[in-house]
Amino acid sequence: MAGEVAIVGAGQSRFGVLKEGIKSLFAQAFFECLDSVDKGMDPRQVQEAFVGSMSFGGGQLGNLAALMTEQVGLTHIPARKVENACASSSYALRDAWFALHSGMLDVVLVAGVEKMTDLPSDRRRYWLGVSGDTEWERLAGTTFAGLYALMASRHMHEYGTKRESLAQVAVKNHRYASHNPKAHFQRPIKLEQVLEAPMLAQPLTLYDSCPVSDGASALLLTRAELAKSFTDSPVYIQASSGASDFLALHDREDITRVDGTVKAAKEAYRQAHLSPGEVDMAEIHDAFTIGEIMALEDLGFCSKGQGGVWTLEGRTEIGGDIAVNTSGGLKAKGHPLGATGAGQVVEVFKQLRSEAEKARQVSGAEVALTHNVGGSGATVAVHIFSR
């Protein structure tokens, strides 16, 4: 099944605190995606749409997919909303991948969209908590910052991970985001700024957390044998894998790893007939900086406990062992929940076609991976791509 589905177009809105509404953001992403199809595509060729969204805040809980597709002229096609926490559009991609493999469809749209910044802060906190265990975590007063702080504290205790390692994740990702015109944060930061920032939950400071963002992303997929009719440079999906884990941290065997990531990664490598060492770049779910460090280990890029060391040694930089979060990641590019997973793939599409900005282009990248998590790791999607 590897390589039987191809991406022929990709686009996104800017991520950030944006004045545009959800309809406009979706249209921006879709039309940029359509324009990226080298040989052109008639929108009427799109047969079905899969739209990832949490409908953050409840502004458009019902019929979101139909509302979005009508904004771009895709009326009367089947359109569905896919909701799976922060991994919603990665699971929309996975659903589309299965649909194309079935042979029933030739061309599909995968998209993600979220408008998060038009709610008061107390309502945002409510919606940001519903991806966790409501009964035993959220109603007990925990936040996602608190949960990831528990993971970070345990990782530091077990493996001697340094506070500076977490901070360096933020520094690296902000630097790449400063060269990404679509990123929420477009300025570099220094290690001292992260370490001295206001504390969210010990040991995580404000700069260890991703922002609350608005945004949309879109991808056009087709069966591989049709791809060259749309572009001379398709990006092939070599693997699509997903897994789940316990929702509450207290049910997990070890909170310094996410077993869903471990399982999904192993299956993705099996499908793609690849090893972790053959991956040139990865977009990793770094809603909090400890998330990137743990994912480096869970995805098999380094041994357990070495994620922090790799980060400090520059092995996750462009030119290192593997380039990680060249878009700026969730940490600096932004995290508009439903748009994040597809947004990671937009970065991969550009990187594998050598179309990213020069300062963050991974030279000669052939294989890429995306890793998208829902909540604190209960839902995971891993995809592998190649030129």
Cα–Cα distance between 143 and 48 in angstroms, integer? 37
Structure tokens at 356: 């990213």
Which residues, 6+ apart, have CB-to-CB distance to 6 below 8 Å?
Answer: 221, 222, 223, 224, 226, 227, 234, 235, 236, 237
Cα–Cα distance between 293 and 156 in angstroms, integer? 11
Catalytic residue status for 285? no
- Catalytic-role residue among 155, 335, 371, 383: 335
Q: Are 98 and 108 in contact (CB under 8 A)?
A: no
Ramachandran area for residue 300 (φ above 0: left; ψ -120 to 50: alpha; else beta): left
If you count them, how many residues does the chain have?
A: 387
Cα–Cα distance between 94 and 173 in angstroms, integer? 26
User: Which of these, 149, 128, 121, 156, lies nearest to 208 by C-alpha position?
Assistant: 149
- Catalytic-role residue among 86, 174, 210, 371: 86
Q: Which amino acid is at 249?
A: L
Place of tokens 């998590």: 373
Catalytic residue status for 335? yes
Which residues, 6+ apart, have CB-to-CB distance to 244 below 8 Å?
Answer: 260, 378, 379, 380
Cα–Cα distance between 310 and 326 in angstroms, integer? 16
Cα–Cα distance between 359 and 40 in angstroms, integer? 29
In this structure, the number of other CB atoms found within 10 A of the CB of residue 317 comes to: 18
Q: Which residues are catalytic?
A: 86, 335
